[in-house]
């Protein structure tokens, strides 16, 4: 506040070296969210501090860092003065250096903040549930995208992917796994009752369904099921000829309730394989066991550039699939779309 008692201005102009500029409401937004709301193709992936894709250099001005220890920055990045746009709030006008890809395809939908009311919760497994939020009419997203949730009493935001298709009477569904001692997921499971309101912000994410003719392979690890269901539903809703090969990786027989979510989609255009990584010896299981990426060898014709690949789940699964698709099978980058649940 200044001597006259005026509140400091919150709308700050961010100039990107070599071209574009945008404004950020620092009371509401990080630098990344301001850029995306302005329609700028600012580089990002997770938007929650885990991946490092949104690194930038501050040339002029001042920013507040929200999460100083965010794993998206290495010690080398910090030594070089790099920052994360998803963890930086401008304190005034700034000038920054970042490689904004002018040729990047625009997703066409800018993220917006809204109040979501928890309309229902449905348990799928002992530690996974579907949370359905009612959002304002017209709020859209593409199959495979995610939203960030501001959960009461939780520091930072949490990213969760929509499992349905947009337009379902203003409902955004999320399949969430309870992480033991996880602050965000336990708040959702234990302290967010039906009828509670939560701030949702979205849509975000590049791993959304693209139009095309090639068959689609979806690989879901655990709660990666959510966005992969959305992608599969998107393909089936197109009504074209392309088919979906759906691979779901779970741990034990206790998780098999999640498989029922795909069962309703299985038909002439979708076939599904469930793989257990640690089947329990005392319980029946005659399906494949091991890592879910290894099951892709069962694809008709093997792993090849005949398909487009979508995957979501824990980082080790994502890395194994990148290795398999990019290095071993030489599938072009444009046919591979994924979200790492960092």
Ligand X SMILES: Cc1cc2nc3c(=O)[nH]c(=O)nc-3n(C[C@H](O)[C@H](O)[C@H](O)COP(=O)(O)OP(=O)(O)OC[C@H]3O[C@@H](n4cnc5c(N)ncnc54)[C@H](O)[C@@H]3O)c2cc1C
Which CA distances in Å does 70 have to 12, 78, 266? 24, 11, 40
Regarding 52 and contact with ligand FES (CB under 6 A), the answer is yes
Tell me whether residue 234 or residue 313 sits nearer to ligand FES (CB atom).
313
Smallest separation, CB 44 to ligand FES (Å): 4
Where in 161-200 is the site for ligand X (CB under 6 A)?
A: 161, 174-177, 179, 182-185
Q: What is the dihedral of CA 122, 123, 124, 126, to 10 degrees?
A: 170
Residue choice 44, 160, 189, 341 for contact with ligand FES (CB under 6 A): 44
Smallest separation, CB 335 to ligand FES (Å): 23
Regarding 318 and contact with ligand FES (CB under 6 A), the answer is no
Are the C-beta atoms of residues 10 and 25 closer than 8 Å to each other? yes
Say which entry of ligand X, ligand FES, none residue 86 contacts (CB below 5 to 8 A, set by partner kind): ligand FES
Smallest separation, CB 137 to ligand FES (Å): 29
Regarding 45 and contact with ligand FES (CB under 6 A), the answer is yes
CA distance 33 to 284: 48
What is the CB-side half-sphere exposure of residue 223 using CA atoms within 13 A? 25
Angle at 297 between CA 144 and CA 259, to 5 degrees: 50
Smallest separation, CB 48 to ligand FES (Å): 6
Regarding 96 and contact with ligand FES (CB under 6 A), the answer is no
Regarding 150 and contact with ligand X (CB under 6 A), the answer is no
Say which entry of ligand FES, ligand X, none residue 54 contacts (CB below 5 to 8 A, set by partner kind): ligand FES
CA distance 155 to 67: 9
CA distance 293 to 7: 54
Are the C-beta atoms of residues 307 and 245 closer than 8 Å to each other? yes
Task: Give contact residues for ligand FES (rule: CB under 6 A).
Answer: 44-47, 49-54, 72, 84, 86
């Amino acid at each position: 506040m200044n001597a006259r008692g005026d509140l400091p201005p919150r709308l700050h102009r961010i100039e990107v070296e070599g071209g574009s500029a945008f404004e950020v409401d620092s009371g509401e937004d990080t630098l990344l969210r301001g850029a995306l709301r302005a329609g700028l193709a600012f580089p990002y992936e997770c938007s929650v501090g885990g991946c490092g894709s949104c690194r930038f250099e501050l040339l002029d001005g001042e920013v507040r860092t929200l999460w100083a220890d965010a794993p998206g920055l290495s010690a080398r990045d910090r030594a070089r003065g790099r920052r994360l746009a998803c963890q930086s709030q401008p304190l005034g006008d700034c000038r920054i250096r970042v490689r904004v890809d002018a040729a990047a395809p625009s997703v066409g939908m800018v993220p917006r903040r809204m109040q979501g009311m928890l309309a229902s919760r449905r348990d799928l497994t002992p530690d996974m549930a579907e949370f359905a939020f009612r959002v304002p009419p017209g709020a859209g997203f593409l199959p495979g995208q995610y939203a960030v949730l501001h959960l009461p009493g939780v520091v930072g935001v949490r990213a969760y992917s929509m499992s349905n298709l947009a337009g379902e009477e203003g409902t955004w569904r999320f399949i969430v796994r309870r992480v033991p001692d996880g602050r965000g997921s336990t708040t959702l499971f234990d302290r967010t009752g039906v009828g509670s309101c939560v701030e949702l912000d979205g849509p975000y994410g590049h791993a959304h369904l693209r139009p095309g003719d090639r068959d689609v392979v979806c690989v879901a690890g655990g709660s990666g099921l959510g966005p992969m269901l959305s992608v599969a539903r998107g393909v089936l809703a197109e009504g074209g000829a392309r088919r979906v090969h759906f691979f779901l990786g779970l741990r034990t027989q206790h998780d098999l309730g999640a498989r029922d979510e795909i069962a309703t989609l299985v038909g002439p255009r979708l076939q599904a394989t469930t793989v257990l990584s640690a089947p329990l010896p005392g319980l029946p299981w005659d399906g494949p066991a091991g890592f879910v990426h290894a099951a892709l060898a069962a694809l008709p014709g093997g792993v090849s550039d005949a398909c487009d690949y979508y995957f979501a789940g824990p980082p080790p699964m994502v890395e194994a699939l990148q290795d398999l698709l990019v290095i071993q099978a030489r599938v072009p980058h444009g046919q591979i779309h994924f979200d790492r649940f960092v």
